[in-house]
Amino acid sequence: MSSGGVITLGFVVTDSESKKPLLPEDQFLIFSGLSKKALKQYEKNGFVKPVRQSEGTNYYAEESADLVKAMMMCLGRCANLQEAYKMAVQGLSSKERRRDKGESAEVKTIDPREIEMHLKFKGLLDIDDDLSESLTVDMTVSGFYVSKAIVLGTWPGLGKLVLIDGHTRVRSAIKAGLEAVPYTIETFDNEEEALEYIAKVQTNRRPNNDWVRFQLVRELDTLMERGGDRRSEQAKSKGSREPIEKEYSSSAAKTGALVGWSASTVKRARRVDREGTPEILEDLKKGKIRIGQAEKRIAPRANDKATAKSSSRENQDAMVQLTDENLSGLNELGGNRHAHVNEAVKQYIEREIRKRASSDQEDSDSDKLKPRIIQ
């Protein structure tokens, strides 16, 4: 049926000239998320306008609904509707140009909801909520840029592809409702090499962020806490629970090379991880202090050498080997794993003290019941 420039084909309404899909006003309001009052305001400002009118009903271009949705997403980053309109138009135009060039057909894509996360890498770095929200807006308006493709990786024994780089982008893509994101694949020799790749990428991306480097030092130390080079002949000759001899300074130098710090700065980070209070860690996370300042806030007094030596001995005694199962559980909990271990040890000590006190009391009661021998 054709009437007033509107063609109805089944349930699809199109413009008789452009052949582009049209939406009657009631559907346009649903698709765009506008109220009738807001729609009139948008029309008054020239952001949208009816394409056709038929039988007393206004029809709007389907792409106008996309424009309005994009404007609403941009509003949080703009001073007014006019700026939001300009940003939305630019974003949608860029998206259209990339689609015309067939950019999406040149790369592999995957549904972001189907991407598998690796437990260790998933919680490796904190996701910046502000950045995530900003990316969500951009992706909703402009789509996912191929130049920002995520990285999936695998290594022998893993048997699947897992997300290596792009956790924030994937979360934003899901929130933006995208059904396909571009990806590339990297193949590694083992998990340690994958983590080294992440360290290099992140430190190059955020060169002045001490919190990022601090988190990477934590994870690199955890992965290599048995010590030494896991790919060396010495490592292969050891059992799964046997430590590998290494010089502490060599370990710090290796980790430092990966995260862009000197060996001495890595040692400072390790100390902050062991002894830093929640307040210190929070200030480091927010960028209020650098890693050197964080260590100074926990450093002992210069004239208290005995305390420093005692603390060093205590820290050496506190270094324990965790089973893979326990380590995986702590990583899943997140937070400071040393705090988790200390809390577990505290509860164990309290339980043992109660047991011994109970045992001593039973022995005392038993002594009272023994026959007294009179000389």
More confident position, 117 or 204: 117
Kindly report, residue by residue over 243-284, the tens digit of the pLDDT: 343 444 467 887 887 787 888 888 999 999 888 898 998 898
Distance between CA atoms of residues 371 and 368, nearest Å: 8
C-alpha 261: how far from its chain's center?
A: 22
Distance between CA atoms of residues 143 and 17, nearest Å: 28
Domain spans, the chain: 2-100, 102-187
Burial 302-323 (b: 16+ CB within 10 A, else e): eeeeeeeeebeeeeeeeeeeee
What Å distances lie between residue 267 and 36, 44, 208, 302, 322, CA to CA?
63, 64, 18, 18, 21
More confident position, 168 or 99: 168
Cβ–Cβ < 8 Å for 13, 59 = yes
Distance between CA atoms of residues 84 and 75, nearest Å: 5
Cβ–Cβ < 8 Å for 228, 234 = yes
| Overall fold of domain 2-100 | Multidrug-efflux Transporter Regulator; Chain: A; Domain 2 (1.10.1660)
Q: What average pLDDT does the segment 57-71 reach? A: 83
> Locate tokens 């005995």: which residue?
306
Write down the pLDDT at residue 324. Answer: 67
User: Burial level of 93, CB count in 10 A (0-12/13-18/19+)?
Assistant: exposed
Burial 236-272 (b: 16+ CB within 10 A, else e): eebeeeeeeebeeeebbebbbebbbbebebbbbbbbb
Q: What average pLDDT does the segment 4-25 reach? A: 58
Write down the pLDDT at residue 124. Answer: 66
Write down the pLDDT at residue 308. Answer: 52
Kindly report, residue by residue over 91-144, the tens digit of the pLDDT: 777 667 666 655 544 578 999 999 998 877 776 666 777 778 888 888 888 888
Say yes or no: do domains 2-100 and 102-187 share a fold. no
| Overall fold of domain 102-187 | 3.90.1530
- Written as six digits, the tokens of 73 are 């997403």
Distance between CA atoms of residues 23 and 67, nearest Å: 14
Kindly report, residue by residue over 293-320, the tens digit of the pLDDT: 999 998 664 444 555 555 545 455 445 6
